[in-house]
Structure 1
Amino acid sequence: MKKIYFLTALFCSILLHSQERYFLNSDTRLYTSPNSASFLGYFRYGAEVRLLSESQNGWYKVQADNFNEGFVQEKFVATRLNAKDVKIKDPQNPILEGGDAYYGGNHLFVLAAGLKARALPDKNSKIKEILFTGDPVAVNYVPVNQDDWVNINGNFVEEYAQYTLRKFIGPRPDFDALLKEFDKLNKDALQDRKTVSERIVELAWNSEYSKLAPAYQRYYEVVKQINDPKLIADTEMNMALAAALAKHKLPEQITAFTQKAEFSLKGTKTKSLYLSQTQLVKIFGSPVKKASVGDECGVYLSDLFYYYPDLEVSVDEKKNQAEIVKVYINENNKFIINPNTILDNSISEKTFIEKYGTYIEASIKSPHNYAIIMEDSQFRLVFKDGKLFSVEIIFYC
């Protein structure tokens, strides 16, 4: 029945005012009926609504972006927003406005670890994204009911809309408060300790690197209680990563570390990230595939790419030049960061972190992927099954 309801509501709303989009030019609430004090939720300035009726005594029946239906005053509905709008702020509105250090528009923060963002307001709907504690999410309307759904992309377009329950989003969690909450828990309350420690770790990754060590310290206590060997090994590696990231090198130190970077391809050193097309073909032969790659930013040597089983290269055939874009590390290919730092397919992820972790950037959202940041580009190193798998050079637009 829920799916029929969604389709019917959507069909009706498309029929009415189908050529227009409507926005709220002020904070307001979604009332259960005209002139009522009872309301379903809060709108922030800029929220989009769908009109479900013509104006009735100064009120429109509208649909919010989570499919809640109710009434708003006609004076707050506009086809466009502009700088002259007189925004009446609702002090009880829980939605945070843009301008903080985390998000530029109306938003709230994820409170739960590993939060599933779904394609529709239905617990059986497709999972579109996994979000982490402390992630900001775009919110223009929130219902009062904590068990109701929220559109956390603030968008009616099905391609972009994502939903979660209201109770899982709110003000940004406080890291120190979570640490105290964990430390007060009885050690026998394993599930509660696991839940809180997962939130602490995710929030630490959404904060400063200095918070990772105390976060993993708590999480490691729980992991040892669970006694899963793989989980213990992974956590110990992340603890090593946390220790390294807390001692992150300065940009000039990283530049000095990487300025002589090159590859060894089938025993031939490239002397830089470039080589001639003639040299490329001599080493690897004719490419398996040639393709033109759209390069709107103009960051590559050429739009023409040569693809080999273990190499991707941008090639300017007229100038006899080739620029390395991605190398798969194997028995033939090595990444030489400098004469004292040669990475081949035998180096383990843990060893790499322990030796060079102070030079890298990392994220919980891209596990086993590490970046070495340079002025106009970065080296992206990917590990698979505990070993170095590939190195990609990513240029900034």
Structure 2
Amino acid sequence: MLDLKRITSKDNPVNFMKKTYFIIAIFFSILIHSQERYFLNSDTRLYISPNSSSYLGYFKYGAEVRLLSGAENGWYKVQADNFNEGYVEKKFVATRLNAKDLKIKDAENPILEGGDYYYGGNHLFVLVAGLKARALPDKNSKTKEILFAGDPVAVNYVPKNPDEWVNLNGSFTEEYAKYTLRKFLGPRPDFDILLNDFDKLNTNNITERKTLSERIVELAWNTNYSKLMPAYQRYYEVVKQLNDPKLIADTELNMALAKGLANRKSPEQIAAFTKKAEFVLKGNSTKSLFFTQKELVKIFGSPIKKASIGDECGVYLSDLFYYYPDLEVSVDEKQNKAEIVKVFINENNKLIFNPNVILDYKLSEKAFIEKYGTYLEASIKSPHTYSIFMEYSLLRIIFKDGKLFSVEILFDC
């Protein structure tokens, strides 16, 4: 840091001005340089030193790097997105990417290119169950996300060392960066191979059977619904060995769901099932989701809260929401219009698909799945949450503590 106290009136004024302009020039040079973004226009490696054959890891085309020094003898010292530091050739560094880029392929680079069935950009797959993606490359850092076996993750740089960290978004911005260890990423796991590996394990090896069956279940969810039943059958063998009543009950629920999802109705059958859906709210039948604003207030009274939301997609009637204990409504006060967005299922409210299909607060999650599982969509990432497609929207049905809690109406963005 510059010590201003050392510049006194005894200094030559001309020299003082020169020093000042020089310092300012350096400052702005550093500022401009730090704001510039740099990308690699080809596959390459992060070398330990210029012209060395030893390297720390692999870059994929499009990876962002930080420049740590100016070019020397055709090489830049750079920092990778996981904070590894090393060297890359100057010819591979650019401030933007375009069609004329070199794009030299590295046959040994383990990062997969975009365009496969699972992901559009540079990526690898999660190999283990319940993987924690952390805010910083530190095992004690907070968890940003839980990833599942078979999840594709964006990767632009991977270290050779399996015990080093990988930045899953390739971003230097702390808000978007998240990290996991290299050893937990690789080519997409093969479901049938994992099943075969599980079946070969000694039945007394409960620890390995549990670990492998968890991976199999997560990978099944990341493959297709037809894989869920064989996955849960293996997992159920293990949870019975563990003799955990809650785990057994949860697995039996998921097995019922797997059976329904594997035998989903056709889109035409689902459309027919939902065609006459209506809510009953405080004894009022609502074949339409719309009220006038005045009708809304007459039936439900003044809302307990009003708030404006950010509706970037413009799918709601208005940005203004009325919040009631029973429901949430999008309201356009000027146009005297109101649209139901979310209904909490309780003694006052229920959802009716037809006279024989009534979803009320007495409906258990188990009964719901057993009766209507063939109409549902579901995901391991949103447990106890189910979706039913309608003609122009989607119903998101949520259970809490085994009972129907709420129904939300969602529209495509």
The answer to whether the superposition gives a TM-score over 0.5 is: yes
TM-score calculated relative to the size of structure 2: 0.91
* TM-score in terms of structure 1 length: 0.94
Cα–Cα, structure 1 residues 33 and 157, in superposed 2: closer, same or farther, change >3 Å? same
Is the CA contact 1:345–1:388 (under 8 Å) kept in the aligned structure 2?
yes
Equivalent of 1:63 in 61, 79, 100 = 79
Of 11, 25, 37, the residue aligned with 2:41 is 25
Matched, 1:365 2:365: no
For 1:295-341, what per-residue CA distance to the aligned partner results, in whole angstroms no more than 9, with x for missing partners? 33222223332211111112233444321110100111111122221
Asked whether the equivalents of residues 220 and 231 of structure 2 are also in contact (C-alpha less than 8 Å), the reply is yes
Structure-2 change in CA distance of 1:142 and 1:100 (3 Å): same
Matches within 5 A, 1:243-262: 243-262=259-278
Counterpart for residue 25 of structure 2:
none
Query: Pick from 90, 114, 117: which aligns with 1:74?
Result: 90
Between the aligned partners of 2:68 and 2:295, the Cα distance in structure 1 is 67
1:182 positional shift? 0.2
Alignment map for 1:39-188 (pairs within 5 Å): 39-188=55-204
Q: Distance in 2 between matches of 1:117 and 1:185?
A: 29
TM-fit CA distance, 1:387: 0.2
Equivalent residues of 1:262, 1:335 under 8 A apart: yes
Counterpart-to-counterpart distance in 1, 2:396 and 2:181: 35
Tell me, yes or no, if the aligned pair for 1:16 and 1:53 is still in contact at 8 Å: no
Aligned to 1:390: 406
1:15 is displaced (CA, Å) by 6.5
- 1:351-362 correspondence runs (5 A): 351-362=367-378
From 334, 347, 371, the counterpart of 2:350: 334
CA displacement at 1:155 relative to structure 2? 0.9
Deviation at 1:274, TM superposition (A): 2.2
Structure-2 separation of matches of 1:140 and 1:25: 12
For the residues of structure 2 that align with 1:278 and 1:17, how far apart are their CA atoms?
59
How far 1:286 sits from its partner (Å)?
Answer: 1.4
Q: Is the 8 A contact 1:16 1:51 kept in 2?
A: no
Closer/same/farther in 2, CA of residues 391 and 17 from structure 1, 3 Å limit: same
DSSP-derived class of the 1:80 partner: coil
Segments of 5+ residues of structure 2 without an aligned counterpart are 1-29
Gaps of 5+ in 1: 1-13
Instruction: Describe the SS at the equivalent of 1:305.
Output: strand
Please say if residues 66 and 151 of structure 1, whose CA atoms lie closer than 8 Å, have aligned partners that are also in contact.
yes
Matched, 1:203 2:251: no
| 2:54 corresponds to 1:38 | yes
Structure-1 residue corresponding to 2:4: none
CA RMSD of aligned residues (A): 1.3
Q: Contact conserved, 2:39 with 2:65, CA < 8 A, in 1? A: yes
Maintained 8 Å contact 2:365/2:399: yes
Secondary structure in structure 2 of the residue aligned to 1:53: coil
In terms of mean alpha carbon deviation, does 305-314 or 225-234 score higher?
305-314
Q: Distance in 1 between matches of 2:64 and 2:252?
A: 47
- Following superposition, the deviation at residue 16 of structure 1 comes to 8.6
Query: Per the alignment, in what secondary structure is the counterpart of residue 376 of structure 1?
Result: coil
Q: Is the 8 A contact 2:275 2:390 kept in 1?
A: no
* Identical columns (%): 79
How many Å separate the matches in 1 of 2:202 and 2:172? 45
Counterpart Cα distance in 1 of 2:141 and 2:296: 49
Partner of 2:207: 191
CA contact (8 A) 1:334 1:344 kept: yes
Opposite residue 198 of structure 1, the aligned amino acid is: E
2-structure distance, mates of 1:352, 1:145: 48
2:333 maps to 317
8 Å CA contact 2:111, 2:123 repeated in 1: yes
Counterpart of 1:367 in structure 2: which amino acid? P
- Is the Cα contact below 8 Å between 2:155 and 2:169 reproduced in 1? yes
Aligned amino acid, residue 336 of structure 1 = I
Structure-2 change in CA distance of 1:157 and 1:318 (3 Å): closer
Q: Distance in 2 between matches of 1:51 and 1:304?
A: 47
How many residues align? The count is 384
- Give yes or no for contact 2:385–2:398 (8 Å, CA) kept in 1: yes
Using the TM superposition, give the Cα deviation of residue 268 of structure 1 relative to its aligned residue in structure 2, in angstroms. 1.3
